[in-house]
Structure 1
Amino acid sequence: MTIEEQKILERCERLFLRYGAKSVTMDDVARDLVISKKTLYQYFTSKDELVHKVTAFHFQHHNEVVNTIYATSQDAISEMLQITEWVTQHLKDINPSLIYDLRKYYPKSWQLFLEHRNTHVYNCMIENIRKGREQELYRDDFDENIIASIYISRMEMLIDPQIFKPDTYTLDQVMPQYIQYHIRGIATPKGIKKLEKIKTTIL
């Protein structure tokens, strides 16, 4: 990937998160980047390709950040809170229509979302649960696969405007409540104590 292409992807990522994918035209992108459409089409042959590459770029960055947190965090609960804090800050201004746009108009990009959710996020949850159990922070009386599946199934719900109306709730209000709800449901007394101790310093 060239530096120029990376700059385009970074800017388009911000545009799509803010306005959705469908409403942003190639003219809008070229105007925002102060380049010609001809130059833009030298990097991306179509709007579909641009959306697909932006989606892949977004998840690649997400995976890199999460993997770094996993490698450096001291315990499973700190790990979950740090990831939640980063995701909240990164996506706090997301336009709810983006998920709808990908699902309806950009099936290849939507497939990337599903693969990311069902593979990377799912596997991260399994790893976190096992780490938490080893550290005696999570109980061992539940099925890790069921809990991981429940967790990932709620990802879209968190930014669904029909459930959390944007004029009432923001993502940085919803996410901390959601992660505490999740952790309290699987934590040992030791884990609850850990959560209470560190939640205000991270969330």
Structure 2
Amino acid sequence: MSKKTEARLLTHAASQFFRHGYSNLSVDDLVQGIGMSKATLYRYFDSKYDLLEIVIENLFQAIEADINELLASKQGPEEKLRTFLILMVERLEGIERSAIEDIKHSVPVLYEKFQTLRKHVIINHLVKVLDDGAEQGYFRRNMDQGVVAHIIFAAIESLTETEYLAESRYRFSDIFDMVLTIVMYGNVVNTTER
């Protein structure tokens, strides 16, 4: 079996699942867009369900790889935090909310897996970024950075809901900057304390 063919199937399937959802796609739809047969897809994956599960796992493995590279970089704490959040936006912005809603209703187990991985990967790594900044004296050592990570995550989560964005004059990037600014200035050590 060719790794190249498998990778091509996964890339195409990810774009389709995250654009259209699960119930709106047949296996015929999935293979038609890349000129392969259903038999080829079934050589690599047991089912459409199996394919979506692997797509979700691969998404978060790629995000973790990006974050690990960032954590190893020489960027300063504030820049690392900003880059971290930009990475999350870039990796997740191509996912249509309607597709996730469809996955939620069609395959709730995989929806839960998506949500669990998203929260786990983002919050755990965000805590690492914040803890690293606290060790360097940039963020307050007397604050639980896990709580700060949850505040950032929850604020961005709630302020980027479709309903809020539809009524707001702000774009996602504006909200992202405001959340980061509010959290950072409440979390940054005064220059006299460094």
- CA 1:16–1:168: 2 relative to 1, 3 Å: farther
| Aligned-pair CA distance for 1:69 | 0.7
Per the alignment, residue 110 of structure 2 pairs with 109
Higher relative contact order (CA 8 A, sep 6+): 1
Secondary structure of the residue aligned to 2:33 is helix
User: Per the alignment, do residues 139 and 56 of structure 1 end up closer, same or farther by CA in structure 2, a change over 3 Å counting?
Assistant: same
* Aligned partners of 1:84 and 1:176 also within 8 Å: no
Alignment TM-score, normalising by the size of structure 1 = 0.78
**1:55 alignment counterpart:** 56
Instruction: Report the AA paired with residue 108 of structure 1.
Output: V
Which deviates more, 147-156 or 58-67? 147-156
Separation in 1 of the partners of 2:96 and 2:167? 10
Instruction: Map 1:2-21 onto structure 2 (within 5 A).
Output: 2-21=3-22
CA contact (8 A) 1:129 1:144 kept: yes
> Corresponding residue for 2:179?
178
Change (3 A) 1:5 1:136: same
Work out whether residues 13 and 30 of structure 2, in 8 Å CA contact, stay in contact via their aligned partners in 1: yes
- SS of the equivalent of 2:140 reads coil
| 1:168–1:16 Cα change, 3 Å | farther
Q: Runs of 4 or more off by more than 6 Å in structure 1? A: none
Note the C-alpha offset of 1:120.
Answer: 2.6
Query: What is the percentage of aligned positions where both structures have the same residue?
Result: 23
Amino acid at match of 2:98: S
CA RMSD of aligned residues (A): 2.6
| Count of residue pairs the alignment pairs up | 190
When residues 7 and 77 of structure 1 are mapped into structure 2, their CA distance, relative to the original with a 3 A threshold, is: same
Question: Compared with structure 1, are the counterparts of its residues 159 and 73 closer, same or farther at alpha carbon in structure 2 (3 Å cutoff)?
Answer: farther
- Relative distance call for 1:128 and 1:31 in structure 2 (3 A) is same
CA contact (8 A) 2:21 2:98 kept: yes
CA distance in 2, matches of 1:33, 1:148: 40
More displaced stretch, 124-133 vs 157-166: 157-166
Deviates more, 1:163-172 or 1:27-36: 163-172
Question: 1:125·1:148 contact (CA, 8 Å) conserved in 2?
Answer: yes
Deviation per residue, 1:37-68 (Å, 9 max, x gap): 22222222222111111000111111101110
**Quick one: distance in 2 between partners of 1:67 and 1:98?**
28
Deviation for aligned residue 1:168: 5.8
Greater shift after overlay, 133-142 or 47-56? 133-142
Instruction: Give the structure 2 partner of residue 136 of structure 1.
Output: 137
Q: Secondary structure at the match of 1:182?
A: helix
Secondary structure (helix, strand or coil) at the match of 1:140 reads coil
Match of 1:199 in 2: none
- Structure 2 residue aligned with 1:126: 127
**Counterpart residue type for residue 47 of structure 1:** K
Mark the runs of 5 or more structure 1 residues left unpaired by the alignment: 191-203
Q: Which amino acid aligns with 2:25?
A: V
Unaligned runs of 5+ in 2: none
Distance change >3 Å, CA 46–CA 119, structure 1 → 2? same
Check the 8 A contact 1:12/1:54 in 2, yes or no.
yes
Alignment of 1:1-203 (within 5 A): 2-154=3-155, 156-157=157-158, 159-165=160-166, 170-190=171-191
CA distance in 2 between partners of 1:9 and 1:169 (Å):
34
Equivalent residue, structure 2, for 1:197: none
